[in-house]
Amino acid sequence: MDNIQKRIHQLRGQLKGHNYQYYVLDDPKISDAEYDKLLRELADLEAKLGEPVPEDSPTQTVGFKADSAFQSRKHAVPMLSLANAFSDEEIQGFIRRHRDILVDDAVIQYIAEPKVDGLAINIYYEFGQMVYAATRGDGIAGEDVTDNIRSVAGIPWSLDGDVPEKFEVRGEVYMSKASFAELNQKQQEAGDKVFANPRNAAAGSLRQLDASITANRKLSFFAYATGLGGEAYATSQSELLSKLSKQGFATQETALLKDEQAMFQHYQVWMKKRPSLDYEIDGMVFKVDDFKQQQLLGSVARAPRWAIAYKFPAEEVETTVEAITWQVGRTGVITPVANMKPALVAGVMVSRATLHNIQELARKDVREGDRVIIRRAGDVIPEVVKSLSVGEANRKPPTSVPSTCPVCDAAVEQEDGEAAIRCTGGLSCSAQLKERIKHFVSRDGFDIEGFGSKLAEALVDKGFIQTIADVFNLDFEKVATWEGMGDKKITNLKQAVESRKKITLSRFIYALGIRHVGQATATSLAQHFKTLDALQAASEEDLLEINDVGQEVAASLLHFFAEPHNQQVLQQMFVYGVVVLDDETPEVDNNHPLAGKTVVITGSFSQIKRNQAKILLQQLGAKVASAVSKNTDILIAGEKAGSKLKKAEELGVTVVDEAQLLDWLPEV
The set of catalytic residues is: 115
Other C-beta atoms closer than 10 Å to the C-beta of 160 total 10
With a CB cutoff of 8 Å and minimum separation 6, the contacts of 284 are: 112, 113, 114, 115, 263, 266, 267, 270, 309, 310, 312
Q: What dihedral do alpha carbons 622, 624, 627, 633 form, nearest 10°?
A: 10
Q: Are 317 and 345 in contact (CB under 8 A)?
A: yes
Distance, CA of 296 to chain centre:
31
With a CB cutoff of 8 Å and minimum separation 6, the contacts of 331 are: 422, 432, 513, 515
Give the separation between CA 613 and CA 19, rounded to whole angstroms: 48
Other C-beta atoms closer than 10 Å to the C-beta of 411 total 11
Identity at 289, one-letter amino acid code? D
Q: Are 28 and 22 in contact (CB under 8 A)?
A: yes
Identity at 87, one-letter amino acid code? S
Other C-beta atoms closer than 10 Å to the C-beta of 643 total 9
With a CB cutoff of 8 Å and minimum separation 6, the contacts of 241 are: 223, 224, 251, 254
Give the separation between CA 315 and CA 329, rounded to whole angstroms: 28
- CA dihedral sign, ordered 158, 163, 168, 170: negative
∠ CA 275-280-283, nearest 5°, is: 85
What 3 state SS string does 475-541 have?
A: CHHHHCCCCCCCHHHHHHHHHHHHHCCEEEHHHHHHHCCCCCCCHHHHHHHHHHHCCHHHHHCCCHH
Other C-beta atoms closer than 10 Å to the C-beta of 103 total 7
What 3 state SS string does 35-102 have?
A: HHHHHHHHHHHHHHHCCCCCCCCCCCCCCCCCCCCCCEEECCCCCCCCEEECCHHHHHHHHHHHHHHC
DSSP secondary structure string for all residues of 581-625? EPPPPPPP-TTSTTTT-EEEEESB-SSS-HHHHHHHHHHTT-EEE
Q: Are 457 and 434 in contact (CB under 8 A)?
A: yes
**Residue in 646, 552, 661 with CA at minimum distance from that of residue 604:** 661
- CA dihedral sign, ordered 273, 279, 285, 291: negative
Give the separation between CA 657 and CA 636, rounded to whole angstroms: 6
Radius of gyration of the chain (CA): 29
DSSP secondary structure string for all residues of 644-655? HHHHHHHHT-EE
